């Protein structure tokens, strides 16, 4: 479908945005479904976020995604916020409504949808989260919401992990459940953990081009991991994933989460549903684009 006076625009607000795969997701979906929509990235300089949000609304944009470093910073400039996004404290999708944008978090529903597609059941699981940043906090909240039995947050700086554990336990208590669900451990204290865990790698360690790195290298740790999720999407197979598989576990990367957070945002903007079959087509397109870009960078 060609561009014309009826074409609606969506985009990505962030800094940097040059690496993004989001245009692949949204422009592929729009073309497949005959939606007169185009998606483009917008690099927003520090200090200009409020201008960007107001400008996007003034220019009649249908919606925007928001990426680092603005997922929390954008909240004061919204007309409304979805309860899940408010609880997580991060917004990655803006949906146009009367008077401004409403903020949503589609990252965690996107991760959950990817987990479901991969046959992973959270309820009753023991969970390890590596890292204690914003992504780790959101994953911890999702695990609590979906019925995990125990959440262990491992981080080099234990104070950061304790902060997340306290927030999760406050949510747990507020939901009328007894006991402590989450606990914090220093990274080196993984040896004290017993049992088998669903594990999330929520740091940027191992991200392209530093593909040989992992937060933990000891094979003993990975023997405790029955299923590992690395939330990094580039490379599509990280060092963490390789170590999980070498120890006999199942491993998945962050490309599925990236796909489904985009799918859910697209569904919010357009009101259309995306089938799993169509999502699989988009996934293949993303993987091909990612492989091509990495090869090009390595050849430079």
Instruction: Mark whether 95 and 163 lie in a shared domain.
Output: no
Instruction: Mark whether 48 and 161 lie in a shared domain.
Output: no
Number of domains comprising the chain: 2
Instruction: Mark whether 101 and 188 lie in a shared domain.
Output: no
Sheet with 250-252, edge to edge strand ranges: 182-186, 150-155, 126-130, 197-201, 225-230, 250-252
In a domain, 181, yes or no: yes
pLDDT digits (tens, 9 = 90+) for 281-300: 999 999 999 888 776 666 65
DSSP string over 93-141: EEEEETTEEEEE--HHHHHHHHHHHTT---TT-EEEEE--SHHHHHHHH
Digitized pLDDT (tens) for each residue of the chain, 300 residues in all:
679 999 999 999 999 999 899 999 999 999 999 999 999 999 999 999 999 999 999 999 999 999 999 999 999 999 999 999 998 899 999 999 999 999 999 999 999 999 999 999 899 999 999 999 989 999 999 999 999 999 999 999 999 999 999 999 998 887 667 678 999 999 999 999 999 999 999 999 999 889 999 999 999 999 999 999 999 999 989 999 999 999 999 999 999 999 999 999 999 999 999 999 999 999 999 999 988 877 666 665
CATH code: domain of residue 267: 3.40.50.10860
71 belongs to the catalytic site? yes
User: How far is Cα 255 from Cα 141, in angstroms, rounded to an integer?
Assistant: 21
> Which domain does 208 fall in, by range?
109-253
Output the pLDDT for position 173.
Answer: 84
User: How far is Cα 26 from Cα 19, in angstroms, rounded to an integer?
Assistant: 15
Question: pTM here?
Answer: 0.91
CATH code: domain of residue 116: 3.40.50.720
Please answer whether residues 165 and 146 qualify as being in contact, where contact means their C-beta atoms are separated by less than 8 angstroms. Answer: no
User: How far is Cα 70 from Cα 67, in angstroms, rounded to an integer?
Assistant: 6
Instruction: Mark whether 75 and 125 lie in a shared domain.
Output: no
Catalytic hit among 71, 102, 224, 297: 71
């Amino acid at each position: 479908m060609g561009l014309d006076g009826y074409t609606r625009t969506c985009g990505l607000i962030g800094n940097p945005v040059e690496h993004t795969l989001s245009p692949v997701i949204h422009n592929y979906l729009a073309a497949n479904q005959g939606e007169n929509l185009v998606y483009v990235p917008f690099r927003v300089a520090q200090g200009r976020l409020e201008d960007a949000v107001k400008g996007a609304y003034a220019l009649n944009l249908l919606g925007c995604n928001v990426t680092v470093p603005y997922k929390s910073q954008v909240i004061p400039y919204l007309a409304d916020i979805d309860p899940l996004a408010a609880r997580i404290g991060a917004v990655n999708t803006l949906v146009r409504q009367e008077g401004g944008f409403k903020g949503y978090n589609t990252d965690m529903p996107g991760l959950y949808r990817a987990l479901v597609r991969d046959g992973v059941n959270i309820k009753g699981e023991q969970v390890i989260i590596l890292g204690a940043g914003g992504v780790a906090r959101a994953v911890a909240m999702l695990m609590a919401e979906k019925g995990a039995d125990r959440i262990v947050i491992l981080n080099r700086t234990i104070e950061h992990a304790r902060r997340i554990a306290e927030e999760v336990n406050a949510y747990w208590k507020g939901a009328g459940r007894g006991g402590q669900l989450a606990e914090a451990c220093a990274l080196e204290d993984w040896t004290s953990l017993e049992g088998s865990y669903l594990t999330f790698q929520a740091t940027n360690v191992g991200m392209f081009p530093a593909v040989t790195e992992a937060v933990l290298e000891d094979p003993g740790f990975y023997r405790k991991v029955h299923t590992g999720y690395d939330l990094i999407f580039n490379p599509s197979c990280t060092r963490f994933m390789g170590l999980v598989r070498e120890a006999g576990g199942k491993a998945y990367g962050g490309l599925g989460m990236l796909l489904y957070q985009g799918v859910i945002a697209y569904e919010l903007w357009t009101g259309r549903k995306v089938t799993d079959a169509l999502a699989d087509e988009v996934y293949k397109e993303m993987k091909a684009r990612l492989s091509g870009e990495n090869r090009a960078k390595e050849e430079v």
